[in-house]
Structure 1
Amino acid sequence: MTDTVFIEGLAVETVIGVYDWERTIRQRLLVDLEMAWDNRVPGASDDVADALDYAAVSERVQQQLQDLQPALLETAAEEIARTLQQEFGVCWLRLTLNKPGAVPAAANVGVRIERGQRP
């Protein structure tokens, strides 16, 4: 199976950062997510109950980032990956967390992780 469900550019406003001033403001993170999922069953049934619900995944990621308020992107990425694997049964994922504006001279900065085994 090589099917993927993806979410690109999910915007989340949250407290994140290691500096004191960052702990007093909300900053925008952009989340890109690819998740292995067998799309043959929902493709045949046309039933959302058989699909990986990307709206529910998006809501969970947003809520987790807002609740967690981590110092590091690395912490946020690990926690999100763990949650998606445990709560949604995702066996493999690639997650990119972008923190636009963190380095003024760069178009973007962030972290990218892969967790699990791609089927």
Structure 2
Amino acid sequence: MTDELAITGVECFGHHGVFDFERREGQTFVIDLMLGLDTAAAAASDDLRDTVDYGSLVASVQAAVERDPVDLIETLAQRIADVCLLDSRVEWTRITVHKPEAPIEATFADVALTITRTREGEK
């Protein structure tokens, strides 16, 4: 059985996008993380060492968003999934990258991409 740990609304500032002004000026990205892991050991021990330290994970995700600009949110989402899967206890991860300031010539609330990745790399 897999439990689910959710961390939502992580705000990061990055310089991702296909347009020069996006790379130059940057914008806010909002990240939602869902991790599939077994939390039984942590529940029994009440010890942070037996589970994912979500404070450290968020710091790593922020660093991943803030470094090396990429063109596509698809690439960014995969980068974040790779960070989450570094912890061997994470069986799968579901990542949503929100780009609320996307350069769209229309009124809209959000652009969001959600990907799911497993330890084996399956979708």
Scaled by the length of structure 1, the TM-score of the pair is 0.91
Q: Structure 2: which 5+ residue stretches go unaligned?
A: none
The answer as to 2:18 corresponding to 1:18 is yes
Q: Deviation string for 1:37-95 (max 9, x for gaps)?
A: 1111111111001011111110000001111321110001111112221x212221110
* SS of corresponding position for 2:110: coil
* SS of corresponding position for 2:9: strand
**Which residue of the partner structure matches residue 107 of structure 1?**
109
Mapping of residues 39-78 of structure 1, within 5 Å:
39-78=39-78
- Greater than 3 Å deviation, 4+ residue runs: none
Name the amino acid aligned to 1:114: T
CA RMSD for the aligned pairs? 1.3
**Which residue of the partner structure matches residue 88 of structure 1?**
87
- How far, CA to CA, are the matches of 1:60 and 1:6 in structure 2? 16
Report deviation, 1:31.
0.3
**Which residue of the partner structure matches residue 27 of structure 1?**
27
Name the amino acid aligned to 1:36: G
- How far, CA to CA, are the matches of 2:69 and 2:6 in structure 1? 24
Identity of aligned residues (%): 34
Report deviation, 1:106.
1.3
Query: Is the helix fraction higher in 1 or 2?
Result: 1
- How far, CA to CA, are the matches of 1:91 and 1:70 in structure 2? 26
- How far, CA to CA, are the matches of 1:23 and 1:14 in structure 2? 8
Q: 1:116 aligns with which of 99, 115, 118?
A: 118
